[in-house]
Amino acid sequence: MTETTFELRKFVAPEFIIGVDARQLAGRYAKNLGASHVFLVTGPNIIKAGWVQDVIESLESEGIRHTLFSEVSPNPRDHEVMTGAEQYKSAGCDAVVAVGGGSPMDCAKGIGIVVSNDQHILEFEGIDNVRIPAPPLICIPTTAGSAADVSQFAIITDTSRKVKIAIVSKKIVPDISLSDPVPLTSLSKELTAHTGMDAIVHSIEAYVSNASSPVTDIQALESIRLLSAYLPLAYHNPDHIGYRYKTMLGSLLAGLAFSNASLGAVHAMAHSLGGLSDLPHGECNALLLESVIDYNFSVCPDRYEAVAEAMNVDCQSHDTQGIKQKLLSALQTLRNELGITERLGDLGVTKEHIPALAKSAMRDPCLATNPRRLTVTELEQIYEGAL
């Protein structure tokens, strides 16, 4: 047993409820948190699917008013957060409920800290830069991917610099997550694939992170087992609640792992891509994962072997190089089965973009916990390998 096993560690996590129709508890928990008028943050597609109406009815059943805010882009912008904060204040709200994927939940986190601290959202960039806690926040995820409902991370696009900033603070951990697999049944195959791969990358990066721990290791490996087995099944059988539940559980465990162990180069590079080109975050992660593992593998082969075994890859009778190739092959097979077959070049990324992308990724806080220290030149090489 290594000495690191006995290190003093701190962990953050919200209260969470997982199960069918958890979303319908929104009113009860808003009331428990003392809310009388909630600011309901969501997106147009989620409204169309009917999941927001269920939440509104739950709030109304407890006599709680709401103000609806649905002006959230797939990669939430700084000005959207600021607009939301102004509407929150003018409506006299006292709590926030977010219904959606990572974008509405990250936007909701941003709105909360802008309201409580009276600062511009971009001033919170980095780690532990939030002084005053946000108003009560309830998150109801409608994807099995971002895990913003249980994490201390929020990702916001700085539209002037065309970069995504990471805000990391225990003061943006939601008060409660109502993790309901039912809304996942309305996801398209594309969103199922992209958000699911985001969750797998969360788990893998948390497990190989230089800030990992025995607690996050358990969460990350179980998440990898669940998602590698059940994500393809959910992709091919979208209405199967059992498969959707397993992916929701996998995403939740991934969120608890990375919220406390942080992430790595895949996310740093994907944030850079999303900021510059406004590409889907989960898709960027999926397309970068294999190239980053190829670079990282030599510094923690035992960790990646455990990842491969969690994916049910046979690692017996293989040397280190053979295990690496089997892991990369398994990830490629999974990605292809989920319909993610393109490369970055197919999405419009060119060699001319790479220097700016690498410089932006180098500033991302996720890079600090990558198991291998990377230079700008090495980041450029990884991007070029994924073109």
Q: How far apart are CA 346 and CA 323, in angstroms?
A: 29
CATH number assigned to the domain comprising residue 164: 3.40.50.1970
- At residue 5, the pLDDT reads 61
Which residues constitute the domain of residue 52? 15-184
pLDDT value for 9: 86
| Predicted pLDDT of residue 276 | 82
Number of domains in the chain: 2
Handedness of CA 155, 159, 161, 162 (dihedral sign): positive
* Rounded (5°) CA angle 260-152-246: 70
Rounded distance between C-alpha atoms, residue 377 and residue 382, angstroms: 9
Provide the 3-class DSSP secondary structure of residue 210. Answer: coil
Domain end among 184, 201, 228: 184
- d(CA 357, CA 204) in angstroms, rounded, equals 22
Stretch 240-264: mean pLDDT, rounded? 98
**Mean pLDDT across the chain, nearest whole number?**
95
For residues 163 and 218, membership in a common domain is answered with: no
Whether 49 and 121 map to the same domain: the answer is yes
3-state secondary structure (DSSP) of residue 164? strand
Q: pLDDT by residue (tens digit) across 195-248?
A: 999 999 999 999 999 999 999 999 999 999 999 999 999 999 999 999 999 999
Domain assignment present for residue 1? The answer is no
Question: In Å, what is the CA distance from 11 to each residue of 4, 152, 259, 289?
Answer: 16, 10, 8, 26
For residues 329 and 353, membership in a common domain is answered with yes
Q: Is residue 5 part of a domain?
A: no
Final residue of a structural domain among 123, 158, 184? 184
More confident residue, 276 or 139: 139
pLDDT in tens, 122-156: 999 999 999 999 999 999 999 999 999 999 999 99
The domain boundary residue, chosen from 184, 209, 230: 184
Residues 148 and 196 in one domain: no
Average pLDDT for residues 177-203, to the nearest whole number? 97
